[in-house]
Amino acid sequence: MQVPILMYHYVSAPPADADAYRRDLSVSPENFEAQLRYLAENGYTAITLTDLTYHLALGYPLPERPVILTFDDGYRDNFLHAYRLLRHFNQVGTFFLVTGFIDENRAEYLTWGQVRVMHQGGMAFGSHTYTHPDLRGQSVDYLVWQIVGSQEAIAERIGEPVRFFSYPGGFYDQQVIDVLRSAGFWAAVTTQQGNWHTSHSLFELKRIRVRGEDTLEQFAARLEYNWGEGSP
């Protein structure tokens, strides 16, 4: 099943001294608005990972042109810009939170109050661990602390189970997947490029990275490109 899962990080203009990495991860509010307008004008409907999971595992129907909008890390500009624009276009986003950074009240990240407001406004949330480490080769106890600790912190704030996960840096191994399954997660997203998903790949869902320098034409081309079942 082909469903584009778009991957965002910052939705703001990068600071003047930003390095290439930050510039690449930063989509301006103006470009994000243009992208949402393109989706609306071309018949796309934003769905959630729950919708996709129900479709792949149980055969539930999807709209004609589904798309999933995901945001990694939980930056505060997601509340200031992404949430406002998603509400304007009546679309839903899924936000993966690094809960330790929220607990520390880091200025660049969301607050728990903002998370509650966004959830009440129809947004979905998933775990991106407690401190955003490389999870490969770690002990089960460490993985439980990073994954389940984050999962429970979000669930407590939004009042519902947390079923979806984003691998920090896109790094994972089989033991990470095993812990996710045992903790009641239904699926996880990677940083691998692609849009083809099956019921057997729920813990290795591919995404399409949206880059800061993308023109609207490049955004549209990447969105509509047929990556194929074997896309890298």
For residue 232, being part of any structural domain is answered with: no
- For residue 232, the model assigns a pLDDT of 47
Look at residue 193 and tell me whether its pLDDT is greater than 80. Answer: yes
For residue 230, being part of any structural domain is answered with: no
Q: Which residues form the domain of 92?
A: 5-224
Which DSSP state fits 211? P
For residue 229, being part of any structural domain is answered with: no
| CATH number of the domain encompassing residue 85 | 3.20.20.370
Q: Alpha-carbon dihedral of residues 71, 84, 39, 73, nearest 10 degrees?
A: 0
Rg (CA), the chain: 17
> Taking the model in full, what pTM does it have?
0.96
For residue 24, being part of any structural domain is answered with: yes
Amino acid at 192: Q
Amino acid at 27: V
pLDDT tens for each residue of 138-177:
999 999 999 999 999 999 999 999 999 999 999 999 999 9
For residue 20, being part of any structural domain is answered with: yes
Look at residue 85 and tell me whether its pLDDT is greater than 80. Answer: yes
The pairs formed by 99-108 with CB atoms below 8 angstroms and a separation of 24 or more are 99/127, 99/129, 99/130, 99/149, 99/150, 99/153, 99/154, 100/129, 100/130, 100/131, 100/132, 100/150, 101/73, 101/74, 101/131, 101/132, 102/74, 103/153, 107/76, 108/75, 108/76
In the chain the first and final C-alpha atoms are separated, in Å, by 16
pLDDT tens for each residue of 106-132:
999 999 999 999 999 999 999 999 999
- The whole-angstrom separation of Cα 61 and Cα 56 is 9
For residue 231, being part of any structural domain is answered with: no
- The whole-angstrom separation of Cα 144 and Cα 174 is 14
Select from 194, 189, 190, 187 the least CA-distant residue to 223.
Answer: 194
Count of the separate structural domains present in the chain? 1
For residue 140, being part of any structural domain is answered with: yes
For residue 42, being part of any structural domain is answered with: yes
